[in-house]
A and B are shown apart, each in its own frame.
Chain A
Amino acid sequence: MLLSLAFSALLLLVTIKAGLGNSFLKNGDWRTSESIGAADADVIVRAVVAIGGLLASTREDSMYYTISSVAGEPLNLDCRYRIEGGDYDANWWSITAYGWDYFLIPNEQKRYSFNNDNINRGEDGRWVIHVSATEENGNWLPVGPSGAPASEKSTHHDFDLLLRLYTPGEAYLQNPGSAPLPVVTQEGCS
């Protein structure tokens, strides 16, 4: 009995550690679910959301896409990342960096996100965000150690990014796995 319980806990821990894993939809390296916050969410989605996205809204209100690895490599504080995008079919959008502890990352600039209103764009309306621990020109989204003690870290990634699309359009509601999203690439590591 105890062995079964321990095995159950271990399996669940692995699933939750994987975060938005097999129960979720993939769109490139981004992950989402159509049933976040909804009554029809399966038990695994509901458990993962309770831990890493408590009080999330259902998709008609907002859709959430997270990315914790790029091309199979977990997001790492020693690397620099580039997010490139434009505008999306939604009332508004934001991209926020969170520590592995799911909270905003302490930084001197007090900058935790960019949104469609405060981002600097090129003449064609497109934009680039640089995500790194060291200062960059342009739209720099600083990352660094999470607020929780490092001894509690149990994820492979040091931080993740969350794209929120408020009042998403039909493309996201009907085809969340293929709708247009920003592209995240790794620019280099130290």
Chain B
Amino acid sequence: MSWLRWIAAILVCGWLGQYALAMLVPHLVMERLYQKFAEARAPNQMNLTPRPDENSRWVVRPSPDLLYASCLYNLEQGPVVISAPVPERYWSMQFYQMNTDNFAGISNQREQRFRVGTRVEVTLIGPDADPAEYSGEVIQSPTTRGVMLLRASGIGDASQSQAAIAGSRCAPL
């Protein structure tokens, strides 16, 4: 009967183990993306992305209907400031921590329509920083590293969205 116990133990541990492995997956995928980006460009800079096509293979499921810019951030040396003009059509600035969670975001949609025509300026601070020490719009990242992704509608006349993406900046404070 002891072999039955062994098989049962293996099955139970295996069943539970899939969840432990699943918890690792987002961290591994994000780390790989971060390293891949970092090889091409130093952190804390805005990276403008060409309109996605079949050759766009940095991140899965790129949308051909969106214009993108990204900033791979590392807050070890202090905050970074991200600034961007806000166009009329759909636009958003999303923040992702290293477990892939979209932990914060701002947009020009719903109650945030007031941002249209303005220039957003966000101070992104690390997990150990004190938000009270900074003025203006402050976002606190739960992890020291992460990714900020700008999306702007590329459908129809995209000239305003293109100008907004091109005029976006990311730099250390």
Contacts and interface: CB of A to CB of B under 8 A. Distances in A.
Contact of B22 (A46, A57, A60, A94): A46
Interface stretch (B54-62, B115-123, B162-170): B54-62
Given A54-B33, A55-B96, A118-B155, A47 B90 contact: no
Contact of A12 (B18, B60, B92, B110): B18
A178 B63 CA distance: 25
B100, B101, B109, B153: which has the most chain A beta carbons within 10 Å?
A: B100
Contacts of B56: 103-104
Contact residues on A (Cβ < 8 Å of other chain), bracket: 35 or more
A120 interface: no
A8 B22 CA distance: 9
A38 interface: yes
A53 interface: yes
A46 B102 CA distance: 11
A44 interface: yes
Contact of B14 (A7, A41, A94): A7
A55 B60 CA distance: 9
A189 interface: no
A128 interface: no
A57 B60 contact: no
B10 A51 contact: no
Contact of B11 (A7, A41, A52, A113): A7
A5 interface: yes
B147 interface: yes
B30 A50 contact: yes
Interface string B1-36: 000000001110111111111110110011001000
Interface residues of B, number: 50
A112 B60 contact: no
A157 to B, nearest CB: 15
Nearest to A52: B60
Interface string A29-41: 0000000011101
Contact of A37 (B11, B90, B101): B101
Interface string B89-109: 010101010011111010101
Contacts of A96: 61, 63-65
Contacts of A166: 90, 109, 153
Interface of B: 9-11, 13-23, 25-26, 29-30, 33, 52-54, 56-57, 59-65, 90, 92, 94, 96, 99-103, 105, 107, 109-110, 147, 149, 151, 153, 155-156
15 contacts: A39-B101, A43-B19, A43-B22, A52-B60, A53-B60, A55-B94, A56-B102, A60-B110, A61-B102, A96-B61, A110-B53, A115-B65, A147-B57, A166-B153, A167-B107
Interface of A: 1, 3-12, 15-16, 37-39, 41, 43-44, 46-47, 49-58, 60-61, 91-92, 94, 96, 98, 102-107, 110, 112-113, 115-118, 147, 162, 164, 166-167
